[in-house]
Chains A and B, each alone.
Chain A
Amino acid sequence: MSSLFEPLLVTVLLVNMFVLGASRLRSVIGASAVQGVCLGILAVTAHGELSFEVIGIALAAVAIKAVVIPRLLYKAMRDVAIVRDVEPLIGLIPSLVIGALGTVFAVVFSGTLPFAGVHEGSLVLPSSFATVLTGCIVLTTRRKAITQVVGYLILENGIFILGLSLLDAMPFLVEAGVLLDLVVGIFVMAIILNHVSREFASTDAAELAELKE
């Protein structure tokens, strides 16, 4: 494990906070791309010797999370002419406070789980859990369909971090997780194919509220 490992995890946590506080959609998408790059480097630094598998996963993570999906999201923003503001349901400051509380909870919760091996005492589990919580906050408190996609992306990044600690032991499970990105791709495609905007004249998920009791 290289000395870069923990600082990168801290960077991921800081990006979480940035996402919760940012008001512009472009910067939220950019932040998720930065997280993608961090995850790619993390995958490489988490392991002593570089195997073919590790490099493959790192490259795939960077390519998908930091290049392909952000580009698709930007394209969706342009094509569908999405307004650039995030439009949260709750204020940005309350989001940040909830995110900070979530991070504290993640650290406390992680303390209750025994961690053996190289990652003992590491930030792997807290940062993973905090990132998952951040993703959930973005998913539930942002109005736009496209922002919800970013929230899902961040949730997925959190899952990927925990996957890193399992990469040596169970590569298949981690590789299977790459499938999740497929879902994101489909979400974005749905927006790009213009269905959501054509049918509802905007990509506001609050418009998707016809069905209720």
Chain B
Amino acid sequence: MLLALVLLPIAMGAVALVVPSARVRAWLVPIGAVLHAALTVAVVIWPPPPMFDRWLALGPLGRLIVPILSGQFLVCAFYVPAYLAARPERPTRVFCACLLALSGTMSLVAVSHHLGLMWVGIETSTLASAPLIYFYRTPRSLEAVWKYLLIGSVGIAFALYGSFFLASSALHGGHESSLLFEDLVRNAPHLSKPWLHAAFVILLVGYGTKIGLAPMHTWKPDVYGEAPAVVGAVLAGGVATCALTALMRFVQICNAAGDGEFARSLLIVFGLLSIGVAAAFMIRQRDYKRMLAYSSVEHMGIIVFGLGVGGLATYGALLHILNNSFGKGVLFMTTGNLHRGYGSRLTADVSGALHRFPASAALFLAGFFAITGSPPFGLFLSELAIVRGAFAAGNYVGAVLFLALLATVFIGMGAVVIRVVQGPRAADVKREREPLLTILPAACCLALVLVLGIYVPPWLDALLRDAAAFVEMQP
């Protein structure tokens, strides 16, 4: 069952490679996503037994992350056929295959309970996403993919180095050297402390590069700016979530080792720094797709800050992962429509979109309110939980700074979005047709974020609580 989560999308990707018709190929992506989602529902309801000596298992964290990844990919996948149909001149064979394979490798990260295997998942997801970014074959997208691979690979290399340090920590702690997370967590109090500290710092830099935390975020604006909109959505909502999952596993090990304090102070610093950097670059931003990248840096910062604060904020951070995935879906998919319609990503060229593409523009505006944490959207609840957690933990400075930075982001991002949606327009602008399948996926994402802001169903609450307790594990 668990292996099927990984192999099914990869097999569908292989099918996409050989299917001759471009139309059929594009529809293979949503079909693969539906099958993957069905499997996901099955494994969450009927927990499958671990496989391969527990190398693959579905723990409390996986039970939360796998549905997020699968659900977000499902919604994005339905955007793919319309997206590709609007660009008939581009070859789609590699695109569809890699997108499906990416879904499989992301699942591998979420279900692998082995340090090395999880790393392999992160590495293969990076390799699978590189051709997706190079979809347009322009010099700028080549530059973006070069940066993505080079910076991403250095991050992955550091992640491996950190894994070696963690393995050494187990080895020099003088006990059975196993790299299964269950064993690492159980033996955590006996891990060699100096090695564990060094390992956590290196792992934070390594996986932090993949997450896109400042100051290792420099690839993000270029990549999210150049990548096709749907790829941006999957990168910001899926791949970033995977890297966060990896980081949470190490936070858990530090917590279990009784060394949570050390890890948390680092997370708080990196979290606030990321929000701050994002806020600084969002003000007077002239490119609305790059703005989304900084928004992603900001939200990764919020989540990492929440994990650093701990307690209630960990619950908030996990809920925020869910909200962020779908909120980013709204924004990326609607900007994809606007980019297509106007042929430009600059706010100088795109303004008053409400009169030309009313549905996309309205969703973009609503998505902006959602992503900046305005009530009644889900992100408001999760950010509130993080702030309450910070006050409860006595971190007043952090909480106030957090709120001030979020307000700055709201203002900076708001100026861009309002101009794009309602700014001055040419006199002869006519309303243009918007295919249903370019609108519906974004609307679904928005509806979900809205529902999450009003009502968190008890089963989801239970999943979140289990995962939070799991990450917060005490020695």
- Could you tell me which A residues sit within 8 Å of B by CB distance? 112-117, 132, 136, 139, 145, 148, 152, 155-156, 158-159, 162-163, 165-166, 169-170, 172-173, 176-177, 179-180, 182-183, 186-187, 190, 195-196, 199-200, 205, 208-211, 213
Contact = CB atoms under 8 A, between A and B. Distances in A.
Contacts of A170: 116, 167, 177, 179
A156 B150 CA distance: 13
Contacts, number: 114
Nearest to B178: A170
Nearest to B281: A213
Contact of A183 (B115, B149, B164, B165): B149
Contacts of A187: 149-150, 153
Nearest to B198: A113
A175 B257 CA distance: 27
Interface in B179-203: 179, 192, 194-195, 198
B112 to A, nearest CB: 11
Contacts of B144: 211
Given A152-B153, A210-B140, 15 more contacts: A114-B194, A148-B150, A152-B150, A156-B157, A159-B161, A162-B161, A166-B171, A172-B116, A173-B115, A182-B127, A183-B153, A199-B142, A211-B140, A211-B144, A211-B221
B123 interface: yes
A196 B139 CA distance: 8
A159 B300 CA distance: 28
A200 B139 contact: yes
A113 B179 contact: no
Contact of A180 (B114, B156, B194): B156
Contact of B167 (A173, A186, A205): A173
30 contacts: A113-B192, A114-B192, A116-B171, A116-B174, A117-B171, A152-B153, A152-B154, A159-B161, A159-B164, A170-B116, A170-B177, A173-B116, A173-B163, A176-B116, A176-B120, A176-B160, A177-B160, A179-B123, A180-B160, A183-B123, A183-B153, A190-B146, A190-B149, A196-B146, A208-B143, A208-B146, A211-B147, A211-B222, A211-B225, A213-B281
- Give the top 6 A-B pairs by smallest Cβ distance, nearest first: A211-B222, A169-B177, A173-B116, A199-B139, A208-B143, A116-B172
A104 to B, nearest CB: 17
Contacts of A156: 157
B142 A195 contact: yes
B259 interface: no
Main DSSP-derived SS at the B contact region: helix
Contacts of B305: none
B127 A186 contact: yes
Specify which of B117, B171, B177 lies most central, judged by the most chain A CB atoms within 10 Å of its CB.
B171
A157 B61 CA distance: 34
Main DSSP-derived SS at the A contact region: helix
Nearest to A140: B154
Contacts of B146: 145, 190, 196, 205, 208
A165 B161 contact: no
B226 interface: yes
A114 to B, nearest CB: 6
Nearest to A170: B167
Nearest to A173: B116
A53 to B, nearest CB: 15
A47 to B, nearest CB: 15
Contacts of B157: 152, 155-156, 159, 180
B149 A186 contact: yes
Interface of B: 114-117, 119-120, 123, 127, 130, 139-140, 142-144, 146-147, 149-150, 153-154, 156-157, 160-161, 163-165, 167-168, 171-172, 174, 177, 179, 192, 194-195, 198, 221-222, 225-226, 281
Nearest to B218: A212
Contacts of B171: 116-117, 166, 169
Contacts of B174: 116
A19 B391 CA distance: 52
B168 A176 contact: no
A113 B117 CA distance: 26
A115 B116 contact: no
Contact of A115 (B127, B147, B172): B172
Contacts of B163: 173
A166 B356 CA distance: 61
Contacts of B164: 159, 162-163, 166, 173
Given A211-B143, A211-B225, A169 B167 contact: yes
Contacts of A132: 161
Given A116-B172, A211-B143, A155 B154 contact: yes
Contacts of A115: 172
Contacts of A113: 168, 172, 192, 194-195, 198
Given A113-B194, A176-B120, A162 B168 contact: yes
Contacts of A117: 171-172
Contacts of B123: 179-180, 183
Nearest to B177: A169
A210 B192 CA distance: 46
B167 A166 contact: yes
Contacts of B222: 211
Contact of B226 (A183, A205, A211): A211
Nearest to B169: A113
A190 B147 CA distance: 12
Contacts of A190: 146, 149
A177 B142 CA distance: 26
Contact of B194 (A112, A163, A182): A112
Contact of B143 (A114, A179, A210): A210
Contacts of A172: 114, 116, 179
